[in-house]
Every structure is written in structure tokens, then in C-alpha cells.
A and B are shown apart, each in its own frame.
Chain A
Amino acid sequence: MRDVAIVAFAQTEHRRRTDELSEVEMLMPVLHQVLDATGLEASSIGFTCSGSTDYLAGRAFSFTMALDGVGAHPPISESHVETDGAWALYEAWVKIRTGEADTALVYAYGKSSSGEVRDVLTRQLDPYYLAPLWPDSVALAALQAQALIDAGATDEPALARIASRSRTAATANPHAQLSGSVPAGGYLVQPLRTGDCPPIGDGAAAVILAAGDTARALCARPAWIRGIDHRIEAHSLGVRDLTDSPSTRLAAERAGAFERPVDTAELHAPFTSQEVILRKVLGLGDDVDVNPSGGALAANPVMATGLVRLGEAAARIHRGESDRALAHATSGPCLQQNLVAVLEGERPHV
């Protein structure tokens, strides 16, 4: 089967609020950026796939409005996933691998500022035993963080160092919402302090995928997707070992992440404690540059954050700053679903 690469990536400046913009108004500039970068036109794209959720906007079928920004007439081949855009990228990758398309436009967006994202995310939980209790996203992450602390895998100062390292890295990222010296703050839900949690904000991202020689023609150094896989584990938190992430480990194995070391890892860890787990299951040592973008702790446009990880990893390969990068995306409570991709620059001829 054909090789597939990410050939262009764009993201908005992620901001706390974008009241003046509708979703499509927020999205359109990044669509134009990736199209301009490749010289492609919307009408020549083989497949378009997006990730978002109506629950952030509080409006049914809000993603159909966003399609106006793509130029869906004359008719295009299009699909939507009601989750992070990283899974839209996976769907597009399958389309290209199977020869259904040569190029794909993948985009994702989220305007968390419209509502209370902590409450909104409770609606993705099991409706019988969990959702009626309204356990918010920070609360569930805090249960996981405490389990890690009890297991001796981390402590509060170590978590604070992850927060600090991420936001320091984000000073080099012009798109980041939160960067530099950010106070640890008080407990949002103990043991997680404000600084251990992601900012709430609005943003969008887009990438273009292409196959084989098309990718080489569109991009000087395509970021080849050497492997990609996603896995899920039980929804119920009480049946899982919250200090582990077997789904991430399995996805990484199937994506080929353990075949050779990576130099960069973009991890979708909205909470500091989740980075501890991901580093462990992915076997990332101190020699790996983890979240040089600042990661989700610097910008967390819900539903686009995972796609941004793939895009940031690809962009480092485009720029020649990485030869082999791992990108991870997550969805669901406490790392329930995990996607891992391994991206590489063209291997030197021997």
C-alpha cells in the first residue's frame, strides 16, 4: 500500500475567547493556510474529514455550518467524526491507503468559551452510573493523579515541574494560549492545581495528507506516517488501573513506535499527571524532546488538541528539526481512548 504523509499544517492562535467569530469564521484562515502552503484548491482535494462536537457549541449539526468554509459545492467527498480531529486524520489516512483518494484535508475546531467545558465533557460519560453525578473532567483527572501519587509514580512537585517545563517550551510557540511563568495556583480539584490543568480556550487546526509522489511534489520534506493505530479500553474507571494506559502502549506497539527510538514526542496530556503515565507506557527517556510546543497544557482547543499534536510533530519534521517523531491523541475520561502515530522524514539514501 501507498505511503501517506502530512504535507501541511496550520493552527489558529489559541485564545480564551473568540466571541467575535463564528466557528466557520475561526476555521477558515487555517483552511486557507494549508491550501496555500500546498497550492491545492478545495475542489482538487480527494477527501475532507473533520472532528468537532456539537456539545461545545450547544447546537445540533454545527459541523455542517463549518463546512461552508471548505467550499463544499460542487459536491465533495466528506466525513465528520464527533471526537478529536486526530481520529478524522486516521479516517483520511485509511482513505488514502486504500486508494480512495490521493490527498485529504483534515480539520478540527472547538470553541470551549461558549459553555462550561468541565460540565460539557460530563455528557460523554456513561449515562447510567456516571453522568447523573456530573463528575467533571478535572475531577476525573484528579482521581487518576491521586492514584499515581499513591503508587509512588509522582508527587505534586514533580507535576509542577511538568507544568513549568511545558509552559516554558510554549514561549517559542506563537500559537500557545498560556506560556512562560504560570503560577501553580490553588487546588482546582486536589491534588490538581490550576497549573496542572489545561487552559480553556478556542482554536482550530488543519492538515493536508497526501500519498507517495504527490506528497513529495507538495512538500520539500513530507512527514511520512510510518504507523498509526488507536485503541480503547473500558469506559468504567473502576475496572481500570488508572496508573497505566495499556491502550496507549498497544497502539504505540502497533504503530511501530518501539521499533526504533523517536527524537520527539507530542503527547496529548491535558493534565500534568497524564504525561507521567504516557511517558512511562511509551518508554520515553530524557533524551526525547517531549511536547516542545508546550502541549495541551499550553493550548487545549478541545477536539483539535489531538490533531494539533500530529500537526506539531509533522511540522518539526517539515522544518528538519526531527527525523522520527511520535504523536499521541486521547479522548474520553482518564486516557480512555488513545491514538499513536509515528512520523518520519525521508530516510537518507545509503
Chain B
Amino acid sequence: MTDVLSAPLVVEFPFTRSLGPVQSAFLTGLRERTVLGVRTGRGEVLVPPVEYDPVTAEEIGDLVEVAATGTVTTWAWNPSPRRAQPLGTPFAWVLVRLDGADTALLHVLDAPGPEAVRTGMRVRIRWAQDRVGAITDIACFEPYESDRVTTDPIPHSGQFTDQVTGIVTPARLDYTYHPGRAQSAYLEALAGQHVVGERCPACRKVYVPPRGACPTCGVATDERVEVGPRGTVTTFCIVNIKAKNAAIEVPYVYAHIALDGADLALHARIGGLPYDQVRMGLRVEPVWTPGSRHPDHYRPTGEPDADYDTYKELL
């Protein structure tokens, strides 16, 4: 049995999002050390604020300023911070109802240990040194024994100079990719400059690259079959736009190639002849370059063109 391959896979993306008027005011406010909430038609003050009342779905935008002090409504002690969480040392996750607000904000609390945290404890915001208009402008909460601020929230225009209208949230997830049995076999064969497919036990078609299942019959494909190396161009296109970072000169030809013995066409670049001489039925063979994991391109074999009837089912 083929060894199961694995490789690290990192998915990373800077999610760029625009903000509505309420979120824009809230996040710009954090940059200015001002915490804004929104008052609903029912008279509740929501912090963090949203643009629609979660109960009535009414559009809301009546901004008010609340205090930077508040009360923990529930908490959870995290002994092992994970990457990208706000604090690198053990901390408490907290929901905090800021003074003047009727709902709670999720954040973290810097405390020496779980014995120092309790529901009902008083806390205040510790602001980040560098603030950009993001929820992380609140570095964390810290214990702060004080009376609850009981004055009514102050109305606020939500207007600041240089309003933040968008955020960029980088996200990264780490995976270990295991291609599974069928694709592992395919990749290992490629490393030896061979191409293998798998035959469906029901319809007898040979799939390449094999994915372990026949998409027509819905059964496992397990009979390994060597295909190629030669094949036939079944259809092609002429690429006239240079891809970013691609070293290939345009125009070039990208083609579907039915390798001999395969019942599915692969796609690859055609080289070794002028782009305007590529045609359906052209017989081709792979050109491997040292250290490459795939054929660099396919080139003409010099054989006569294949008869249309031999590949018409593979278009």
C-alpha cells in the first residue's frame, strides 16, 4: 500500500470589510478611547452596537456614549492562550456590561488567576497603545474596584475626524493536508515521472487524476492503471493574457489531453511548436524538467494525428 502523504497547508487571507454607520462610529470611537452604544426603540442601550434591533429588527442609529468601566456578567478562565488571542499569558474570557449599557461585550480580562475573577466583579478597559479603529483597540479589561456609574448615557453624534470606514482582519488557519489513498498514489507516481489513474470496477472507465471514486457510478475506484505517457489533444485554447508571476511568454496553448489508456482528459500547456499550429487530435508527450513535480508541458511526438473517433468521447 502506498504511504499516505501529508503536507502543511496554510490558508491566510486579509478579510477586508466595510462598516455601516453604527459600526464605523463604534470602532472609530475605540480609536479615540470613547465607547459608543446604540439606543433601541425599546430604550435599551446595546454595547457593542448594531444597526438593527436584535428583538424587533428595527433600524437603529441613536448613538450614546457609555463608560469604560463595567461589570463582569460571566467569565471563563483560559489557562492556555491560543495563537492570535488578545493576551499571551493566561487570562479570563469575559462578558462585560459597561456602565450605561444593557448588554454585554465579549473581551478578555487580564488577571493573575481564576481565583481573582468572579461574576459581578468590576473592571475597566485597558486601551491598546496603538489604536486603529478595531475591537482590539481594547487591549483587554483589568480589575478595577469602583462604584457603578449610574448617570444616563450621553448622546453622541458618532462623528469623529478621520472616520474609520473599513477594517482589515487577517485570518490564518493551519492545516495538515492528507490527500487520501488515491491521490497519494497519483502524487507518488508523478514523483517517479509516471501518471497513474484508477479504473472503476463498474463502468471500467479509467479516471486520472484518481480521486478514489467514480463520479458516474458512485463506487470506489481501486484498480491502479498506468496511463500515457503519450496522449492526444482533445481541445485547446490560446492564452493571450500573461498571468501574474508566470514566466511563460504569451500567446501559449493550454489543452485538454487524453493520455493513452485514460477515460478523462487532463489539462496542460502545449509547447514545442508554434501556438497557431496546435490542433485537435495532435499527439503529444510530456516534457519533465529536473526537480519538477509535474510535466512542465507536453510537446508533439511527430506521430500522425489521432482519428477524431478515437477521442470524441473525451472532449
Contact B106 A130, beta carbon cutoff 8 Å: yes
In the complex, which residue of chain B has the Cβ closest to the Cβ of A142?
A: B76
Contact B173 A147, beta carbon cutoff 8 Å: no
A-B contact count (CB 8 A): 184
- CA gap between A300 and B54 in the complex, in Å: 30
A342 within 8 A of B: no
Segment among B80-88, B152-160, B268-276, B304-312 that sits at the interface with chain A: B80-88
- CA gap between A300 and B93 in the complex, in Å: 24
Residue from B79, B86, B183, B219 within 8 A of A28 (CB atoms):
B219
B6: which A residues are within 8 A, CB to CB? 19
A135: which B residues are within 8 A, CB to CB? 85, 93, 106
Contact B114 A25, beta carbon cutoff 8 Å: no
Main secondary structure of the interface of B (DSSP, over half): mixed
Residue from A22, A68, A123, A239 within 8 A of B173 (CB atoms):
A123
In the complex, which residue of chain B has the Cβ closest to the Cβ of A31?
A: B218
Contact A128 B171, beta carbon cutoff 8 Å: no
Contact A190 B76, beta carbon cutoff 8 Å: yes
Residue from A28, A120, A130, A145 within 8 A of B213 (CB atoms):
A28
B162 within 8 A of A: no
A242 within 8 A of B: yes
Contact B176 A114, beta carbon cutoff 8 Å: yes
Contact A238 B183, beta carbon cutoff 8 Å: no
- Known contacts A58-B175, A135-B106; A22 and B180 CB within 8 A of each other: yes
A153 within 8 A of B: no
In the complex, which residue of chain B has the Cβ closest to the Cβ of A24?
A: B213
Segment among A70-78, A310-318, A323-331 that sits at the interface with chain B: A70-78
Contact B212 A24, beta carbon cutoff 8 Å: yes
Contact B171 A123, beta carbon cutoff 8 Å: yes
Distance (whole angstroms) from the CB of B286 to the closest CB of chain A = 25
Distance (whole angstroms) from the CB of B104 to the closest CB of chain A = 3
Contact A25 B218, beta carbon cutoff 8 Å: no
Question: Interface size on A (CB < 8 Å)?
Answer: 61
Interface size class of B (residues with CB under 8 A): 35 or more
- CA gap between A299 and B108 in the complex, in Å: 30
Residue from B85, B106, B179, B213 within 8 A of A69 (CB atoms):
B213
Which of chain B's residues 66-99 have a Cβ closer than 8 Å to chain A?
73-79, 82-86, 93-95, 97
B48 within 8 A of A: yes
- CA gap between A68 and B200 in the complex, in Å: 12
Contact B86 A22, beta carbon cutoff 8 Å: no
B78: which A residues are within 8 A, CB to CB? 139, 189-190
B182 within 8 A of A: yes
Most buried by B among A20, A67, A131, A238: A238
User: Chain B interface (Cβ within 8 Å of chain A)?
Assistant: 4, 6, 9, 11, 15, 17, 19, 23, 27, 46-48, 50, 54, 73-79, 82-86, 93-95, 97, 103-108, 114, 119, 134-136, 167, 169, 171, 173-183, 211-220
Given contacts A67-B215, A190-B79, 20 further A-B contacts (CB under 8 A): A19-B6, A58-B9, A58-B175, A59-B177, A68-B218, A70-B218, A114-B9, A114-B178, A115-B174, A129-B48, A132-B134, A133-B136, A134-B83, A135-B85, A135-B93, A143-B93, A147-B73, A147-B119, A187-B77, A238-B95
A-B contact pairs, 25 of them (CB 8 A): A19-B4, A20-B181, A22-B180, A25-B182, A25-B213, A28-B213, A58-B177, A67-B215, A68-B214, A71-B214, A119-B83, A120-B173, A129-B135, A133-B106, A135-B85, A142-B76, A143-B93, A146-B75, A146-B119, A150-B119, A186-B79, A190-B77, A191-B76, A238-B95, A239-B104
User: Chain A interface (Cβ within 8 Å of chain B)?
Assistant: 19-25, 28, 31-32, 42, 55, 57-59, 65, 67-73, 114-116, 118-120, 123, 127-136, 139-140, 142-147, 150, 186-187, 189-192, 234, 236-239, 242
